[in-house]
């Protein structure tokens, strides 16, 4: 398992609707003979033949900010894209992504010395310039975007980085695509705009027909009162219920049986949020959400256990090669 490849994917910026850099890297990494990119940016590659069609999905987009205006004093007015908790925003380094380059910046904070004067926090970025004209002259424009500056580190048996949600899923799909010999027809899809309402999956569900099973590879937030039994390092998680849908009982049981047969640890849990897979139920397609437990989800220090990542790759490889 090439952790450097996962690092590479995590460090690429790409908020919802701006996934082009991640998509280009995945195509470069896999160099597939045939693939297509649909009108909104979903990347689709097919592999194998068989009686059943299995769709494996992971989303490319991450949470971040759109630049919606530039103030006369040079500050960038930012709009949140995706579910960013307010408490993680202040006092952060950011990267502003323009058409030509990446520019370093910050989101500031109100010093305690000024709070007594009722100075309040404003969600703006600062790139060290004091006029709108200077900001425009370095190439920053409205509709550019920003992401939190990322640091990819190993902590014991864990990996920590912003955007592990869902770049770990993108990485897992790459590994399964490269190392499996499917007995089914497996459709690998790297989707867009998941963080703002599963938009890419909705488009994909209209494009793909006669799918027998849709599997979404995405994060599992741990650990709340409803899922305290989920332990990072104890195996992948079947996310059998969340706010968007309920995984197929039939296929969940099948996957548990396959995991046990192949000595792969697996866990079952419920959480909030939603995954791309749930969209396919409206089209008459059963789905299963497969995850790994993520500590501090939607923060700048997301963490996953390396063993869970390895076991998820093994499990998906087996699923693609079995007659479900």
Return the active site residues. 194
**Residue among 321, 44, 313, 62 nearest 175 (CA):** 313
Count how many Cα atoms sit within 13 Å of the Cα of residue 274 in the half-sphere of its side chain: 20
Euclidean distance between CA atoms 318 and 170, whole angstroms: 18
Check the annotation: does 305 bind a ligand: no
What sections of 16-96 are H helices per DSSP?
20-30
The helix, strand and coil proportions of the chain, stated in percent and rounded to the nearest 5, come to 30, 30, 40
Q: Count of H helices and E strands in the chain?
A: 8, 17
Of the candidates 67, 47, 57, 61, the residue with the CA atom closest to the CA atom of residue 16: 61
CB-count burial class (<10 Å; 0-12, 13-18, 19+) for 324: middle
Pairing of strands 237-241, 267-270: parallel
Whether 289 and 229 have beta carbons less than 8 Å apart is answered as no
CA dist., res. 12 & res. 309, Å (int): 20
Per DSSP, the three-state class of 49 is coil
Alpha-carbon distance of 237 to 292, in angstroms, equals: 5
Q: Taking the CA atoms of the chain, what radius of gyration do you get in angstroms? A: 20
Q: Which two tokens mark 193?
A: 């705009």
Q: Which residues pair with 215 in a beta bridge?
A: 56, 288
218 is in an annotated binding site: yes
59 in a known ligand binding site: yes
DSSP single-letter state for residue 276: G
Binding region: 59, 165, 195, 218, 298
Binding region for Zn(2+): 59, 165, 195, 218, 298
């Amino acid at each position: 398992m090439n952790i450097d490849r996962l690092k590479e994917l995590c460090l690429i910026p790409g908020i919802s609707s701006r996934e082009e850099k991640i998509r280009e890297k995945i195509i470069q990494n896999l160099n597939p003979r045939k693939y297509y990119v649909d009108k909104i940016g979903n990347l689709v590659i097919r592999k194998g033949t068989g009686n059943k069609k299995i769709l494996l999905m992971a989303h490319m987009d991450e949470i971040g900010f759109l630049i919606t205006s530039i103030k006369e004093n040079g500050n960038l007015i930012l709009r949140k894209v995706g579910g960013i908790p307010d408490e993680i925003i202040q006092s952060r380094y950011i990267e502003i992504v323009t058409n030509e380059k990446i520019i370093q910046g910050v989101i500031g904070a109100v010093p305690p010395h000024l709070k007594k004067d009722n100075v309040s926090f404003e969600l703006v970025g600062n790139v060290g310039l004091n006029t709108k004209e200077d900001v425009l002259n370095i190439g920053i424009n409205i509709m550019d975007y920003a992401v939190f500056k990322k640091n990819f580190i190993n902590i014991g048996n864990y990996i920590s980085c912003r955007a592990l949600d869902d770049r770990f899923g993108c990485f897992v799909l790459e590994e399964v695509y490269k190392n499996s010999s499917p007995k089914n027809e497996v459709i690998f899809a790297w989707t867009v705009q998941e963080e703002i309402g599963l938009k890419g999956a909705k488009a994909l569900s209209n494009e793909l027909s006669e799918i027998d099973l849709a599997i979404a590879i995405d994060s599992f937030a741990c650990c709340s009162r409803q899922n305290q039994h989920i332990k990072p390092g104890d195996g992948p998680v079947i996310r059998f219920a969340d706010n968007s849908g309920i995984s197929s009982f039939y296929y969940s049981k099948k996957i548990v049986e396959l995991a046990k047969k192949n000595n792969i640890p697996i866990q079952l849990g419920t959480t909030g949020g939603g995954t791309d897979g749930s969209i396919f139920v409206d089209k008459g397609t059963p789905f299963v959400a497969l995850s790994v437990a993520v500590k501090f989800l939607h923060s700048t220090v997301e963490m996953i256990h390396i063993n869970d990542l390895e076991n998820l790759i093994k499990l998906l490889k087996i699923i693609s090669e079995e007659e479900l």
